[in-house]
Structure 1
């Protein structure tokens, strides 16, 4: 199918999900452009709603509102007045037509309906019958399945691995829609409120907010900005529990301290409150609190190498072990008070994922390997949520929603949405669900290496309204490689300073992490979904066969075909050197490593979990003392044998490993989130513009 065409003066590029006019680029949802393309292929013809719905959303039940939203988005992008309707015309009770001239990229003349017509005969709209709907409450949560089994008297519904479960969405509405990032949405136990995080301009800090659903009134619950983690309600709905993170005043074994906090919900609705600290962890990490009952909270705790599931008593201030694994690691878990079950996802034997179902006292009920379909990458992690479906969990991979049976079977659920959505949480009535929708927006900035000032860090090398990151200079060349979501999916792009082009074509829902150039500038090595992929400059690619998930790709020595990486071996994060030809693994360090690289002379430099810099030595590693306070989450890079980084005070610094010279170069803006690359003339920085996320509610049809 032709990927580019003109509608009047508007240039439509389907490969990038963009409409361009007079150098103004607008990015649209793929489904909206699919609607436009169908209309363009039938220019001048009236197409009914059913025709468009059947063609753009085949075998999927969606409401007409979905199509109407697409039409509204298209009219806005095309500058079309909904009243005048010069481009897209509405024909009452008949459908829509495209009234503007269409020119296809491969043709010099306008198209005619006869030249570009696909047969899209009207299909009867599929109406689900009683056997296809399974209601678990008076609100009628509808789940469509292509096939099902009835097992004994329980009559539990299990999906065939090849079937696609379908949710009927009656309404799609944002519950939060400010310019701030809003995430971690949950319902109160009575279903009257949603509670969520709202971030400030400071990237990591947030307040906890509540919103009453019927009146839309908002309440700020916490009195100060902090680094607050996921929150959960107590069974009676009166108390919130969450983990708060802060810098340890006197760090001994870790830089950050973790605090279990509680908040009186009723009081916080009256005025913002200071949370109460009930537990402090200075030598271990804790996350994901879940109330088991009014006194006990389940937590994931990590002391050294592995996570374990513990139960903490508020009354006794004691903890007991619920569950741990000796060969692997716990990834995440969820708890259902209604079913009295814990669902634990763990990484186990053979780097496969397993689902363990437990009773609240830790007794194992079942354990099954999770069978991933081809649409999910082998090493992609699952974060389970209990759902209204009988004996099934739900999870998101970013754009796609799936169900997970207690027996480890994964099945897709089709939702009529185009933007990335995650973190599904269901309403107590089972009639609706919350998801988090939105995008990050970050750009690539260049700063002169010599005589740099904060004011000079304003040359934008790559700009779109989506995320741009991981910019790298081509060795011995003029190209810039970078990761970008401008096409709707994070891909690797190349720029010669004029027109950028998309290099990779990774499947939808691919998570793209680190990328590195080969020494001769002819290839790139990318970490996608914890798997390494080599890419040539013509776009061809080859997956490197490895037995372990690659959590981080630090450095690529293309001459020797080795890669410094953080991998999971038997569930434990391990700093290792991978041989990309033989798949052999050489363990380098038994300590936590957060970033690493090799300099021009082959020196291995890395930072640990305390942000201390180390240089590998022949007998023992040496602490780089001049950099003792210079580490931060903004990482570091190298050019030649000189290190460059940004500290927690936003100061850009350099350190020569040979001479020992240390220099503060300048102070960068607070919204510079990392240093990306350096050459002999410039430093590349990643600047975060917005982090637009919002809580969205999907109402499910009766």
Structure 2
């Protein structure tokens, strides 16, 4: 079968295309294979397992892989899961493709079944052929590599970052952790000469505008300003400063046409937005809401719109805001944690993996390997012509233990490496389980008083692992890998995947044999690790974070913290980052514009202890309260040794 119809759409498996009204969309081979499987059994519910086995043979079932290609198919058919026309979801059962009756031949049912089976096998053979061609073209005939000459601009033990080139390439600029309110300039005709520009406040980000610089700065009280130096050649020019409206925590600043700034920022609701700011009218506008908790974010202004990439702690989001402000989600399989830069010389988007020293070019809806450097993480790239200014770094986050004992705060770095160590959780013996990416992919380590042991590694998969969970007997650790729950025995180091759990999103608590978790459908379930039985606790309740000893539910809903029937409302400028359900009380990490805090509450939601968190405590991952004293673990991002390099394209 070469072609089949879905309403107005014509599907051609051999070409990997879906077309209608002269518009042709290309989907990846895996998505076409799934569509062929569904079409061959149109009108029937096909289970996720059947689809996965047919298209991903010899691989462990992963719902996220299937959900991704389902989203690709729906996008090509201009429909959503909420308003389907052809592709319907049957929760916990599978998917069904509904072909209009007018397009089903009026023959006996047996003939229909036979034809559909034949259609699917022919379709599958075609898709496998396409996959073979794709594999050979991708891996046996790689594109010719671009080579560069590399010249260091900075070196030493300090962190220099955010390197950029002026519009004509005459100046190279960068920031340094030596002085947060200074910008450093290097004349590209004389690389030995460095000068500084002093701004009024700490620089969050900056861009070049003609021969001048626009910097977004933050005062000590948290207020944000836009500071502009119109011409760096004239040192007599004063820097003009004015408030930057409602915006806070500005990142990924870009300059576009018609004096428009694009950036990622927060407002008083503590949500992250992609926004634009008109320098002439001083008006800003939302372009895309990203969400509350964003691990990493990046923007790149290009001739085709503003590309964005961010990771919300569970899912990566890669897309583009067009010049007419339409948001399009792109299906390329980018690394989870990525930075974006537009390369004029390649007429493509550079995608830099932030966990591995690997880079890619996204061009013509395809992602290809691109070797810029394999020595370090490419944190930022700016370019003019064949010149690139590159910020290289080795990201470093450490695990810090804080204690408040008799009113005195003490801290100690428990995990202090030159790698990303995070999501630490402790037991009563002081053993610390934590995640690390020291090999470029997630690993689980256990640090005891005697030694540090590697418990688990997800080789070749740069997928995020949600927070770890200790069993109440403190002998086992549970982790989630692509929706699967794996139990690790901390004494024998044996691993045991739990059957029947394939769609886990977050682990909530583990009491006796019952492991409570949230799935991707928003349902909260109990799984008995001994019997393998599963029971629903509550449907569509992503707010639940725990259950106390007598069965009262603890959670967050619409900004209100509840424990059974008791409730505690927050102010409009506060947002709950995380809640830890302890035995007779709870600990709450609250994010505020004025700085984060950790509060401990009793079962009546009365405050037992309130702690203003250190500014370096980026994320609380564990908390305890005993007799008026507190203990908590933080992930702390370090000022890593990043440097600036000038790359010249060879030839």
Q: TM-score, normalised on structure 2?
A: 0.59
SS at 2:370 equivalent = strand
SS at 2:384 equivalent = coil
> Of residues 128, 152, 163 in structure 2, which corresponds to 1:185?
163
**Aligned ranges 1:303-314 → 2 under 5 Å:** 311-314=276-279
* Whole-angstrom CA distance in 2 between matches of 1:504 and 1:277: 51
Calculate the aligned-residue CA RMSD, in Å.
Answer: 5.4
SS at 2:245 equivalent = strand
> Of residues 411, 424, 434 in structure 1, which corresponds to 2:368?
411
Residue 600 of structure 1, CA deviation = 5.6
* Whole-angstrom CA distance in 1 between matches of 2:286 and 2:615: 41
> Of residues 207, 232, 256 in structure 2, which corresponds to 1:232?
207
Q: Unpaired segments of 5 or more residues in structure 2?
A: 1-132, 528-533
Equivalent position of 1:640 in the other structure? 583
SS at 1:266 equivalent = coil
Residue 355 of structure 1, CA deviation = 4.5
**Residue 315, structure 1, aligned to residue 280, structure 2:** yes
SS at 2:332 equivalent = coil
CA distance change for structure 1 residues 292 and 546 in 2, over 3 Å: closer, same or farther?
farther
SS at 1:414 equivalent = coil
* Whole-angstrom CA distance in 2 between matches of 1:275 and 1:285: 20
Residue 274 of structure 1, CA deviation = 5.3
CA distance change for structure 1 residues 624 and 310 in 2, over 3 Å: closer, same or farther?
closer
Equivalent position of 2:639 in the other structure? 691
Q: TM-score, normalised on structure 1?
A: 0.55
**Aligned ranges 1:112-511 → 2 under 5 Å:** 160=138, 164=142, 167=145, 169-199=147-177, 207-213=182-188, 214-226=190-202, 228-234=203-209, 236-240=210-214, 242=216, 244=217, 259=224, 261-264=226-229, 266-267=231-232, 270=235, 276-277=241-242, 279-281=244-246, 288-299=252-263, 311-318=276-283, 333-336=299-302, 339=303, 341-343=305-307, 355-356=319-320, 358=322, 360-362=323-325, 369-372=330-333, 380=336, 383-388=339-344, 390-398=346-354, 399-419=356-376, 421-445=377-401, 447=403, 451=406, 453-454=408-409, 457-458=411-412, 461-474=414-427, 479-485=431-437, 491-507=443-459, 509-511=462-464
Q: Is the 8 A contact 2:602 2:608 kept in 1?
A: yes
**Aligned ranges 1:548-697 → 2 under 5 Å:** 553=506, 555-557=508-510, 560-563=514-517, 577=524, 586-588=539-541, 614-616=560-562, 621-623=567-569, 637=580, 639-644=582-587, 654-658=600-604, 660=606, 662-663=608-609, 675=620, 676-678=622-624, 683-686=631-634, 688=636, 690-697=638-645
Equivalent position of 2:42 in the other structure? none
Q: Is the 8 A contact 1:483 1:493 kept in 2?
A: yes
Residue 280 of structure 1, CA deviation = 0.6
Q: Deviations over 1:202-250 (max 9, x none)?
A: xxx6654434343344444343443x4432222x2423254x5679x8x
Q: Deviations over 1:543-596 (max 9, x none)?
A: 997679x6xx5734465543359x8x9xxxxx8747786999944379xx9xx6
Q: Is the 8 A contact 1:220 1:272 kept in 2?
A: no
Q: Unpaired segments of 5 or more residues in structure 1?
A: 1-147, 150-158, 250-255, 570-574
CA distance change for structure 1 residues 291 and 555 in 2, over 3 Å: closer, same or farther?
same
Q: Is the 8 A contact 1:292 1:298 kept in 2?
A: yes
* Whole-angstrom CA distance in 2 between matches of 1:689 and 1:307: 20
Residue 404 of structure 1, CA deviation = 4.1
* Whole-angstrom CA distance in 1 between matches of 2:574 and 2:320: 42
SS at 1:492 equivalent = strand
- Matched pairs, number: 493
Q: Deviations over 1:430-483 (max 9, x none)?
A: 243413312325244364x754634x545x5444444443332247x6743123
Residue 412 of structure 1, CA deviation = 1.8
CA distance change for structure 1 residues 363 and 411 in 2, over 3 Å: closer, same or farther?
same
* Whole-angstrom CA distance in 1 between matches of 2:185 and 2:326: 35
Q: Is the 8 A contact 2:478 2:487 kept in 1?
A: yes
SS at 2:164 equivalent = strand
**Aligned ranges 1:529-548 → 2 under 5 Å:** 533-537=485-489, 538=493, 540=495, 542=497
* Whole-angstrom CA distance in 2 between matches of 1:306 and 1:683: 29
Equivalent position of 1:524 in the other structure? 477
Residue 335 of structure 1, CA deviation = 2.0
Residue 191 of structure 1, CA deviation = 1.9
Equivalent position of 1:701 in the other structure? 650
Q: Is the 8 A contact 2:154 2:644 kept in 1?
A: yes
* Whole-angstrom CA distance in 2 between matches of 1:371 and 1:294: 30
* Whole-angstrom CA distance in 1 between matches of 2:161 and 2:496: 35
